[in-house]
Structure 1
Amino acid sequence: MRFWAALLVALSLFPLTVRAEAQPFTVTIEGLKKGSLLRNIEAQLSIRTEVREQTDARPLSDRRLRSLHRRAEEDIRGALNPFGYYDTEITSDFNLDERRATYTIVTLGPRTVVRDIAIRIEGEGKTFEPLKDLRARLRIQPGEPLRHQRYNDDKSSFSQAAFEYGFLDGRFLVSDLWVYPDEQAADIEWRFDTGTRWRFGEISVESDNIDEDVVRRYLRIEENAYFSPRDVLNTQLALTDLGYFAQVEVVPDRDNQSETHVPMTIRTTPIKDVLYSAGIGYGTDTGARLSLGAESRRLNRRGHKLRTDLRLSEVQNRIGTEYRIPLGNKIGEFLSFHTGYIDEEFDEGTTERYEIGASLTREPGDWSQRTYITYEQEQSRLGNQFTDTDLLIPGVSFTRSELDDPIHPRNGWYALIDVHGASDDALSTTTFLQTLAQARFVLPLWESARLLLRGEYGATLNEDLAELPASQRFFAGGDQSVRGYAYRSIGPRDDSGENIGGEYMTTFSAEIEQTVWGNFGAAAFLDAGGVDNKPGPALSQGVGVGMRYRAPIGYINLDLAHPLRRPETGVRLHLGIRVGL
């Protein structure tokens, strides 16, 4: 008997565990439309969060539900406070038997507004006008509804602005937000100590593969100038873009700073000297193609570069070498020497060209200016015409682009203007003057859609077209010209019907692209273009649709285009890649 009594006592010390399953429970919020208020309540309401997160392994007990319900109104009020609502009327209906809880926002109550903002700036920057002017640009102003997020954003913006002006140690001594719910008013008091406005101190450069004076040409920071984080970042980006370094660090040495100056150290890690490249592909203009390249990215400590490229395709073969010498203090400025060989074969002709030349590229403003001179020896056969020319061609071109994304732009433009020519009085077999202008635009339409516009005009002044080689004549048609027509198939024809190119060219294109799913999209387009020996050539039109794939290297385009000019018929397939514009 004693044994059984002892056993019962022992068992009573170990409660019997019965596995419970999570019971459904509904939490409803009423009285508000969908929007930021409701979303914040849903995020802050603990009973709603824990009900959604309960599992069979960890169910919510009735005791826990009651506890969460008791704090529910506090959660709701706390979620509404950041929007300026401090006097909200709330009713609740909590029913464990029916497994539900309903919280109703009867009235939000009057919204608290900002009554006064007192900002006091201390330290060296107390008379610094740009900081004083920041007050007028704050998002939160007297008379505006109080929103905590805007208050916090303004504090961060103020501190960041001080930092960007060189006040590296700026801090808030006081940052108080006083809320008076009974008065529906809030007062803001800030005291900000800017500390010292620092300047750049001594700048040291650590570079193992490029001479220090070359590196210093591209620095965007100067000794004794006021410290600017933006200039530090621009220096890092500029040195990285040079292509000489695998890594660039621009580091302030605050351990050795003086009372007003911060020394700067620029550390560079050399990149691999030689870059080899290879690629294979296919385009409807070129057919199958192969490319090989080798670039010495640092031929010497002065930063000279040497690049050789070989490109083979069913239509064109090209080999070229370029020697580049950096100049000035901008990435895009350099002196270049090049030589190359090109042979091209198309449906109604062939051309073979040797060239050697030099060019100087400068960026005097927003435009990139390239001044060049090239000597070319070219033999061409177009229809029944054969030309053997020697041309010394001086020229100048201007280019500019403004794109929100260099690879997949949605907004921006690109423009090119080129003028060049030759004279039979200067080592050339003929005289001509030629100009070419191109403009391309991309504009956002609705979400995930963009409009692409392209226009091109070329004109040549010369005595006799028959004396011009193929490279100095205009043609149209193909992937990058007028889709629906074969590559270089649009142009004046000789007595035998062969396309021999012309002196004037006009092309334009309008295209709408729409993302359909993920990286896949669709397009519809209209192209038009013409070539003739007089201004204003008659235009050949092509219309079509296409598929787009947004790849890391650009858009892969697959188009079906129908020509509208007789006797052209049928549908032509165009396959290509578009990078930028």
Structure 2
Amino acid sequence: MFGPSKNKRFNTLTQTLFLWTAFFVWMTGCAGTVQAQTPSQAFDIEIQAPSEVQDYLQRHIELQRYRELTDLDASELARLLTAAERNLQDLLGTLGYFSPEIKLVVQDTPQNPKAARHVLITVQPGEPVKIAEFTLDFTGPITQDEATREQRRAIRANWALRRGMAFTQANWDAAKTQALRQLIAQRYPIGTISASQADIDPDTQTARLSVTLDSGPAYRLGPVQISGTQRYDEQLVTRLAQITQGADYSQSQLLEAQQRLLDSGFFDSAFVSLDTTGNPMAAPVLVQLREAKLQKIVLGVGISTDGGPRLSMEHTHHKVPGIGWQAVSKLSLDRETQSFGTELTAPPDASGWRWATSALFQSQTSGSFEVDSQRYRAGRGQTSERTDRNYYLQYDRAKAYGAGLPTVADALSANYAWTQRNFDSLPFPASGYGLGAELGGGVTLGSSREPYLRVLARWLGIWPLADAQAGTRATMRAGRVALRTEGGMVLARTGAELPSTQLFLTGGDNSVRGYAFRSIGTELPNGAIAAGRYLATGSVEWQRPIVINDKLTDWESTVFLDAGAVADKPSALQAQVGVGAGVRWKSPVGPLQIDLAYGVAVQQLRLHMSVGFTF
């Protein structure tokens, strides 16, 4: 009774489901077809060009901005392609190519008319424009002052674009900027570029360049105007800054004054500038300061291959009650050295000299011995950007643990130390030299009092391997050679009992790489290594920037050869050699040095790491 009615209802339901399923599948297919046929962009771009220009064009061509406009018709696209050709010519012109061959072809997709069109751009840049001649002229008071002849000569000599070099807009702009910077760095702070022209001849592929620098008036330094001080008087600021009224304006002098104020520790920030709105013959020097806190504590964590992990704590009091001197105390602990020192420094006098007294207590591994030492010093010092001078009295006491050395030795000495730095820039020097010397004379204070003389000298020279006329980029890519040497001697009677802290050891990160820290010394009869009376070390190093994709990076590679010796007699000096290679990184805190060295005498590889440049 229920069979026919049930089958009818089943068939009707089946047909209905089938129709709805078919309709859903059809709609899904149509939607998929529409989605597949709707392009995500109006066209894509392919640029075929030499590698030296392809990436640049791909990044900067304006046509890239219109790829997402899917409603572009053929006439609008044709208009964009016409504009794109002019844009490509301008882009190539900035790279020094003024006679390019450019073809733009739109390749349609007949198999799918609604798919994105393909724009093929073929570029033959042609020969680059070369500089045929350049003229650099001056106008203004600089042309009438014979004292500026050297400044004008230096600006012309350092002009970056030379005959025969390829012309690019970037290099042209950089050369003008460099020339202007040299002008305003000395005497003429408001100098300008009054005229410049790059005359390009596409037929001969040559460029004729001309620049005229207008010096404006010469400026002299006038009175110092100080702001931002509360705790310290203006006399301290002027003595630290060391700005000479009436001197010719020098940007480097103001920067050095600014750095001295910061290095003093009294100020968290310092900005020194020239007020050019007034009388050029007495332009005020503006010194804007923000004082540091009266006291501060600095905790430090570090690591080096010489000493291993290091912990330090430093306390500074900028104005000790009662005397007004600056006090700095520091505790430092690592694997090789544990030390505590404190130093009191007076404010500078009118000539920049400062009285100072200090004490240092130290326990250190020296050769085969553990040495506990004390050092007390009192004297005066003068520090500047390029020159340091110090003279002082010093008392040394050292106690060595081990057989073969005097248990305790004392000495009193008078010393003079001098350092000269003539590097082009710090802390990343590319050329220049540094020279330092120490001279001391004293007497031992043991069971017998013996006079002695101590001399130590060190030198570092850095030479670029490319001619400066080749330009900064070529000079940096060629690299440079660094030569370093150090020598010292202590003259005293053979049996004089000298503190080991007045003698010499070498080896480690900044001396002879490939050997442990202070492991090269004189060998005693029992085979132990002790500090000696004569020192000689030397090093030659080739430093070369690392270039990636034809671009200079902040990394450098280096290969080196070190040698050093310590002995109690000059005739006994026998060099121990280390060879190796490494890398350098221009880190925010100074040069990071990582070297792998092989010590020939010990036949071992040793990793060396250090941070910073000091001389």
1:470 CA displacement: 2.0
Asked if 1:20 is matched to 2:39, the reply is yes
User: Which segment is superposed worse, 454-463 or 219-228?
Assistant: 219-228
Aligned residues of 2:412 and 2:444 also touching (Cα < 8 A): no
1:194 CA displacement: 7.2
**Which of 204, 211, 221 pairs up with 2:233?**
211
**Which of 65, 72, 76 pairs up with 1:64?**
76
Asked if 1:474 is matched to 2:504, the reply is yes
SS at match of 2:505: coil
Deviation string, structure 1 residues 303-357 (Cα, Å, up to 9, x no partner): 73211122344544332221112435677x5332112333445574444433322
| Amino acid corresponding to residue 108 of structure 2 in structure 1 | D
SS at match of 2:491: strand
User: Which segment is superposed worse, 142-151 or 273-282?
Assistant: 142-151
SS at match of 1:71: helix
Determine the C-alpha separation between the residues in 2 that align with 1:173 and 1:493.
70
**Which of 97, 101, 108 pairs up with 2:108?**
97
SS at match of 1:22: coil
**Larger helix percent:** 2
| 1:276 corresponds to | 297
Determine the C-alpha separation between the residues in 2 that align with 1:535 and 1:499.
17
1:271 CA displacement: 0.8
Aligned positions of 1:220-369 closer than 5 A: 231-250=253-272, 257=278, 263-281=284-302, 285-286=306-307, 289-299=310-320, 304-327=325-348, 333-344=353-364, 348-362=368-382, 367-369=387-389
Asked if 1:508 is matched to 2:529, the reply is no
User: Which segment is superposed worse, 492-501 or 207-216?
Assistant: 492-501
Determine the C-alpha separation between the residues in 2 that align with 1:133 and 1:460.
49
Q: In structure 2, do the counterparts of structure 1 residues 577 and 174 end up closer, same or farther at CA, with 3 Å as the change threshold?
A: closer
Q: In structure 2, do the counterparts of structure 1 residues 111 and 249 end up closer, same or farther at CA, with 3 Å as the change threshold?
A: closer
Asked if 1:537 is matched to 2:537, the reply is no
Determine the C-alpha separation between the residues in 1 that align with 2:333 and 2:219.
57
| Amino acid corresponding to residue 541 of structure 1 in structure 2 | Q
Aligned residues of 2:325 and 2:346 also touching (Cα < 8 A): yes
Q: In structure 2, do the counterparts of structure 1 residues 229 and 440 end up closer, same or farther at CA, with 3 Å as the change threshold?
A: closer
Determine the C-alpha separation between the residues in 2 that align with 1:118 and 1:578.
42
Determine the C-alpha separation between the residues in 1 that align with 2:131 and 2:578.
59
| 2:612 corresponds to | 579
Q: In structure 2, do the counterparts of structure 1 residues 294 and 397 end up closer, same or farther at CA, with 3 Å as the change threshold?
A: same
| 2:403 corresponds to | 383
| Amino acid corresponding to residue 430 of structure 1 in structure 2 | E
Aligned positions of 1:521-532 closer than 5 A: 526-532=561-567
Q: In structure 2, do the counterparts of structure 1 residues 421 and 180 end up closer, same or farther at CA, with 3 Å as the change threshold?
A: closer
User: Which segment is superposed worse, 158-167 or 310-319?
Assistant: 158-167
Structure 2 gap segments, 5+ residues each? 1-33, 110-117, 466-475
Aligned residues of 2:515 and 2:578 also touching (Cα < 8 A): no
SS at match of 2:572: coil
Structure 1 gap segments, 5+ residues each? 1-15
1:366 CA displacement: 5.2
| 1:392 corresponds to | 412
Determine the C-alpha separation between the residues in 2 that align with 1:508 and 1:303.
44
| Amino acid corresponding to residue 239 of structure 2 in structure 1 | R
1:369 CA displacement: 2.7
Aligned residues of 1:558 and 1:574 also touching (Cα < 8 A): yes
Aligned residues of 1:412 and 1:442 also touching (Cα < 8 A): yes
SS at match of 1:539: coil
Q: In structure 2, do the counterparts of structure 1 residues 512 and 325 end up closer, same or farther at CA, with 3 Å as the change threshold?
A: same
1:563 CA displacement: 4.6
1:248 CA displacement: 2.4
SS at match of 2:78: helix
| Number of matched pairs | 550
Aligned positions of 1:183-222 closer than 5 A: 202-206=223-227, 207-219=229-241
SS at match of 2:570: coil
Aligned residues of 2:412 and 2:445 also touching (Cα < 8 A): no
Aligned positions of 1:93-242 closer than 5 A: 94-97=105-108, 99-102=118-121, 202-206=223-227, 207-219=229-241, 231-242=253-264
Q: In structure 2, do the counterparts of structure 1 residues 109 and 247 end up closer, same or farther at CA, with 3 Å as the change threshold?
A: closer
Determine the C-alpha separation between the residues in 1 that align with 2:459 and 2:312.
28
Deviation string, structure 1 residues 87-112 (Cα, Å, up to 9, x no partner): x5857464453744556669889999
SS at match of 1:438: strand
Q: In structure 2, do the counterparts of structure 1 residues 91 and 473 end up closer, same or farther at CA, with 3 Å as the change threshold?
A: closer
Deviation string, structure 1 residues 17-47 (Cα, Å, up to 9, x no partner): 99433255455567xx6657x7877677544
Determine the C-alpha separation between the residues in 1 that align with 2:190 and 2:244.
21
What RMSD over aligned residues (CA atoms) do the two structures have, in Å? 5.3
Determine the C-alpha separation between the residues in 2 that align with 1:575 and 1:472.
26
SS at match of 1:217: helix
SS at match of 2:537: strand
Aligned residues of 1:389 and 1:429 also touching (Cα < 8 A): no
Aligned residues of 2:131 and 2:208 also touching (Cα < 8 A): no
Determine the C-alpha separation between the residues in 2 that align with 1:528 and 1:431.
31
| Amino acid corresponding to residue 370 of structure 1 in structure 2 | N
Aligned residues of 1:209 and 1:301 also touching (Cα < 8 A): no
Aligned residues of 1:284 and 1:574 also touching (Cα < 8 A): yes
**Which of 423, 429, 437 pairs up with 2:449?**
429
| Amino acid corresponding to residue 475 of structure 1 in structure 2 | L
| 1:5 corresponds to | none
Determine the C-alpha separation between the residues in 1 that align with 2:516 and 2:492.
27
Determine the C-alpha separation between the residues in 1 that align with 2:210 and 2:556.
52
Determine the C-alpha separation between the residues in 1 that align with 2:411 and 2:520.
26
Q: In structure 2, do the counterparts of structure 1 residues 163 and 220 end up closer, same or farther at CA, with 3 Å as the change threshold?
A: farther
1:433 CA displacement: 1.5
1:513 CA displacement: 6.8
| Amino acid corresponding to residue 242 of structure 1 in structure 2 | S
Determine the C-alpha separation between the residues in 2 that align with 1:560 and 1:151.
43
Aligned residues of 2:537 and 2:562 also touching (Cα < 8 A): yes
Determine the C-alpha separation between the residues in 1 that align with 2:163 and 2:530.
74
| 1:10 corresponds to | none
Determine the C-alpha separation between the residues in 2 that align with 1:66 and 1:405.
54
1:393 CA displacement: 0.6
SS at match of 2:342: strand
Q: In structure 2, do the counterparts of structure 1 residues 428 and 442 end up closer, same or farther at CA, with 3 Å as the change threshold?
A: farther
SS at match of 2:449: coil
SS at match of 1:75: helix
Determine the C-alpha separation between the residues in 1 that align with 2:166 and 2:582.
49
